[in-house]
Amino acid sequence: MVCKGSVCGIDTETELIQNNYTTPPLVLFGACSGNQVQLCEWQNFDRYQPAFLSKNPNVKFGFFNGPFDQKVMGKDVWIPELNRENRVMELQAAYPAYRISTKGWFRPGFTLEMLTQEFLGVHLDKDEAVRLNFKRGQEITDEQYHYMACDAIATCKLAELLQGQPTESIQARAAFVLSEISQNGMLVDQDYVRQQQAEWQKVLDEEGQRLKSFGYPVKTYYTGFKGLDFIKTICQNIGIEPIDVETIIGEKVNFPPWFWRGLALLTYGHVLNKSPISEIRAAVRDLLVMVVEPPRAKELKPWLQQVDEALHHLMEDLECLECLDGVGATKPKGSDAWKILALLASERIASGDPQHNYLRDEVHEELKKEFKELHELNRGWLKDVKPVSQQKFLQNHVKALKAKYPDLELRLTDAAQKNINKVKVAEARAAKKEKREQRDIDVSDLVVYQVTGKEAWRFYDQGIEDPFLESYWKFKHAEKMLSTYVTLKYVEADGRVHPRFTGFLKTGRTGCSKPSGLIKRIEGAGKATSPVHTASNCWKPKSKDMVISSQARKGRFNDYLRFNLLGVHAKRRGSGAGLVKSLRYSLLCRETCSWINYPEHLVA
């Protein structure tokens, strides 16, 4: 096709995306320029693409998700096109730049469908049944051809409207680089992460014990675990890998109450009876299969009766029958007690001797003691039994300190301030309507103070050294490190983290998710005193990878050759945050960002 317009919108349809580090195969290509639309199936695309590019040497190509489409069509073909000024534009960068320059803001999370509605006043139908069923070797339907043509047309018309941004070409290149970094990923030193997890868990446990001595309701094992996370952790403790769990249960994430009862019975029963570890693994696998393929009600009912009878004996042994029977008319609710019991038991199994398949006798007593302690702290497992919450306990303690030290000034939380203002405004309106004086409203129940570690200086300025708050801040810091920084939850099957970058935030900066705040962590990685220093050392160096050193007290970027795409790697080599700074400069300063040829030896 020889394009009739100065802009050509391009889109591709592929098979389903399987993961974040491989590119799915092309199924259908679509291009629109002027009043022309041309589609090309994958079998013919290798011959079509060179001719298409050669016949349109001066046309600007617009993409909604350029990096993805360019990789689908071939990086070695499109990197030379990215080299050229005013040759490629990226709508996901052009739209935010346009909105910020004209309106001062833009709505994040926009889609091609949303932009088409906003600028063209046309509803773009995104039928899932059509969009998710493109496959090679399968005949392309008329509906799929129509879907592809509509996307290409919409991309072309939007590119015509949004073209001409001053940083248009460099934004397209930067988007490609960010996509490369994401797809290439970052190796993680998993042994180092686990070592750090153990150290921070030790801090968490020690401070948790201190907080318990003050009466603070610590829920050490329950914090942060939900459904599938709980199951994967328990299974890993008994020797079943998380990937095996996913293979068995697939996408299912809702587990019936009987599953948790059965899991608790199997794991704790193993600790109690010291049965072979192979038996517990087989039984748990069978239980997972039951979730995916549940038995009929006639078969399930007698099985549940057996489970409840066995659990009754176990709860007698644990001296926690109220978890099963309740207290008086108060009956237990939810499955939290069984989750905790299964988790504690699986941890004891993990601490046993895998060769001899037995557990120390004292392990059983340790488990009983720990479960009973957790039971007392989590009486919310029973209906109508409401223990003092962590928030209530903390606020009562701080309010007592504030009464003792009148000069102590603390900030309210944003939510508390909003609720108080709402009450005052409502009273002012009522007084005006009723033509009376405003009353003084007691808002003490709405007062919630900020008591994070950032507020510690307010207490220190008043000479307040409170043992409870000291332990609380240390506990919350360790908890944050474990949940956000020192974690393997973002590591994928290839042993790497593949962060997702957003080229434009509302502030004009580059964003990152999964993990979030990666750029911020990297910038602070070189500071040994920074809470991100520990996390930064978890990245493992390897040739041609963007990583942070795993050597102690460095946290610097190693050479990432692929970043030569921006032509700034050599200029900022060795800087603690060099890669991120380079990216920032490349987005903002044309003169520091000469786009050079992509090294051929790195294409493979």
pLDDT tens-digit profile of 41-74?
999 999 999 999 999 999 999 999 999 999 999 9
- pLDDT of residue 511 exceeding 60, the answer is yes
Candidate ranges 132-146, 207-221, 326-340; pick with highest mean pLDDT: 132-146
10 Å Cβ neighbour count for 46? Answer: 11
454: which 2 tokens? 């950032």
- pLDDT of residue 314 exceeding 90, the answer is no
Residues facing residue 39 across a β-bridge: 30
Say what the pLDDT of residue 381 is.
54
Alpha helices (H) along 185-276: 190-213, 227-237, 242-249, 257-273
173: which 2 tokens? 């290149």
Phi and psi (nearest 5°) for 467?
-60, -40
Q: Give every CB contact of residue 231 below 8 A, 6+ residues apart in sequence.
A: 245, 249, 255, 263, 288
What is the edge-to-edge ordering of all strands in the sheet holding 36-41?
36-41, 26-33, 7-14, 60-63, 88-90
Residue 318: closest CA among 272, 259, 266, 386: 272
Phi and psi (nearest 5°) for 329?
-85, -10
- pLDDT of residue 483 exceeding 50, the answer is yes
Torsional class of 224: left (φ above 0), alpha (ψ -120 to 50), beta (otherwise): left
CA distance 498 to 183: 6
Owner of token pair 């942060």: 224
Alpha-carbon torsion angle 198, 255, 129, 119, nearest 10: -60
CB 197 within 8 A of CB 209: no
- pLDDT of residue 190 exceeding 90, the answer is no
pLDDT tens-digit profile of 83-112?
898 899 999 989 988 888 888 888 888 999
Share of the chain above pLDDT 90, in %: 30
CA distance 394 to 378: 17
Say what the pLDDT of residue 69 is.
95
- pLDDT of residue 556 exceeding 50, the answer is no
Say what the pLDDT of residue 8 is.
96
Say what the pLDDT of residue 162 is.
93
- pLDDT of residue 243 exceeding 60, the answer is yes
pLDDT tens-digit profile of 421-474?
999 999 999 999 998 998 888 888 899 999 998 899 999 999 999 999 999 999
pLDDT tens-digit profile of 349-384?
776 654 444 445 566 677 777 776 666 555 555 555
CA distance 548 to 529: 17
- pLDDT of residue 38 exceeding 90, the answer is yes
DSSP classification of residue 41: E
Residue 125: closest CA among 140, 108, 137, 113: 113
For the segment 21-36, the average pLDDT, to the nearest whole number, is 93
CA distance 237 to 266: 13
pLDDT band (50, 70, 90) for residue 547: very low
CA distances from 583 to 56, 181, 234 (A): 31, 11, 41
pLDDT band (50, 70, 90) for residue 529: very low
512 vs 52, residue with greater confidence: 52
pLDDT band (50, 70, 90) for residue 270: confident
* Gyration radius (Cα) of the chain, Å: 30
Residue 410: closest CA among 372, 373, 464, 362: 464
Please report, as a single letter, which amino acid is at residue 159. A
For the chain, the distance separating the N- and C-terminal CA atoms, rounded to the nearest angstrom, is 30
Residue 153: closest CA among 320, 316, 39, 72: 39
Mean residue pLDDT across the chain = 76
Lowest mean pLDDT among 21-25, 116-120, 191-195, 582-586: 582-586
Structural domains of the chain, with CATH:
7-184 (3.30.420.10), 218-381 (no CATH), 390-483 (no CATH), 489-603 (no CATH)
